[in-house]
Amino acid sequence: MATLLTNIGELLTNDPGVGEGSPVGRLRDAALVVEDGRVAWVGSAARAPDADERHDLDGAAVVPGFVDSHTHLIFAGERSDEFEARMAGARYDGGGIARTVEATRAASTQELREASARRLRELRAGGVTTVEVKSGYALDTEGEARLVDLAGEITGEVTFLGAHVVPREFAGRRQDYVELVAGEMMARCASAKWTDVFCDEGAFDLDEARAVLVAARAAGHGLRLHANQIADIGAVGLAVEMDCASVDHCTHVNDEDLERLAASDTVATLLPGAEFCTRSPYPSARRFLDAGVTVALATDCNPGTSYVTSMSFVIALAVREMGMSVDEALWAATRGGAAALRREDVGRLTVGARADLAVLDAPRAAHLAYRPGANLVSCVWIGDLGVVTTSVVNS
């Protein structure tokens, strides 16, 4: 069945070949047709074809569904006291992860399932249609396998993050833990699509991270890397060397890092929610973009350093604090996130793409940054599922 969405005030397609020729492929007074969960036609509302169903959007803006390519949705407990301490001047050092590990290990599978489902609903209500979910809060073989299985109930973009930090029971035995992650634990988490490592000061060094990534590549996993959030230890260079799909955080980078990224297929995923919640300096997205680096934005939803489930808040931070234009931030939160997952079927509204989209209660997409704190997403459509949240779509 074909469904026509018409009277769209502003449509962002992420196809530079349409509209005004910008990277976001902006069309005004537009329409699109969805059929079998895919975009079947895009163009002017005045030229829209007939369809089985017709919905008038009354001048609302429509954007591709957000692609949140970095989350830690499955955890127990909360760490608001750490947030308060940082707002009072304490420095983030990554040490709080152990608290979440303890709480997550103690939680039942059903408790974790229900908590992650609530967070997913918040993401969906804010326009996220594709989400990546990591393990990393169990740090033992059976616990990590449980988190990978739970993540698989949410998304196909599942990431094994056994190398988050070294758990307390392995204090003084780092190499033993690295071997466990790269061996038995990874094998037990074979259903994951990706492997990630937290390569940073206080987490895993370059050699340890490389050992895990090499094993993951041999196991058939795609590669990702948390890098240089706390300090520049050369992790961005490792991500490029290993052809990671994405290198995330990148709070501390040098010019050579940017040159390497620009010449590679590795996406720099910036996570401004983490800087906001840790009171750390924001990386300059402008530096990355001017160097020719492909940039994504993601929420980094986690209990310690970015308990954020609003992609529009991330977009507003990127525009206000990181030097991005609204169009650049919207592209990074959609097409950039798709690139970070090496996906061609999402993050755009072009013929053949999955019909993942968000209808805004606003005439222009710029309102996502212009009105920070407001949830302007009134309708979310996800491929074959159709409308998953709605308040304004009219027949």
Which pLDDT score is estimated for 95?
76
Q: Domains along the chain? A: 2-65+347-390 (2.30.40.10), 67-340 (3.20.20.140)
pTM for this prediction: 0.97
Low-confidence ranges of the chain (pLDDT < 70): 94, 390-395
How are beta strands 26-35 and 2-12 bridged, if at all?
antiparallel
Which pLDDT score is estimated for 393?
39
Mean of per-residue pLDDT scores for the chain: 96
Residue type at 42 in one-letter notation: V
Do the Cβ atoms of 316 and 286 come closer than 8 Å?
no
**Alpha helices (runs of H) in the chain, residue ranges in sequence order:** 80-87, 97-106, 109-125, 141-152, 174-180, 186-188, 206-218, 235-241, 255-262, 272-278, 285-290, 311-321, 326-331, 337-340, 367-370
How far, in Å, are 2, 54, 385 from residue 70 at the CA level?
Answer: 33, 35, 23
Phi, psi (rounded to 5 degrees) for 306: -170, 70
Q: Using a CB cutoff of 8 Å and minimum separation of 24, what contacts does 210-216 make?
A: 210/238, 210/242, 211/178, 211/182, 212/162, 212/163, 212/178, 212/181, 212/182, 212/186, 213/238, 213/242, 213/244, 214/182, 214/242, 215/182, 215/183, 215/186, 216/160, 216/182, 216/186
Q: Rounded distance, CA 339 to CA 296, Å?
A: 8
Which pLDDT score is estimated for 386?
79
User: Helix, strand, coil shares of the chain as percentages rounded to 5?
Assistant: 35, 25, 40
Which pLDDT score is estimated for 326?
98
Q: Rounded distance, CA 284 to CA 258, Å?
A: 12
Which pLDDT score is estimated for 91?
85
How far, in Å, are 81, 104, 169, 211, 280 from residue 131 at the CA level?
Answer: 28, 21, 32, 27, 25
Beta-carbon contacts of 151 under 8 Å, excluding residues fewer than 6 positions away, are: 73, 74, 133, 134, 135, 158, 159, 192
Phi, psi (rounded to 5 degrees) for 322: -120, 5
Q: Rounded distance, CA 374 to CA 36, Å?
A: 32
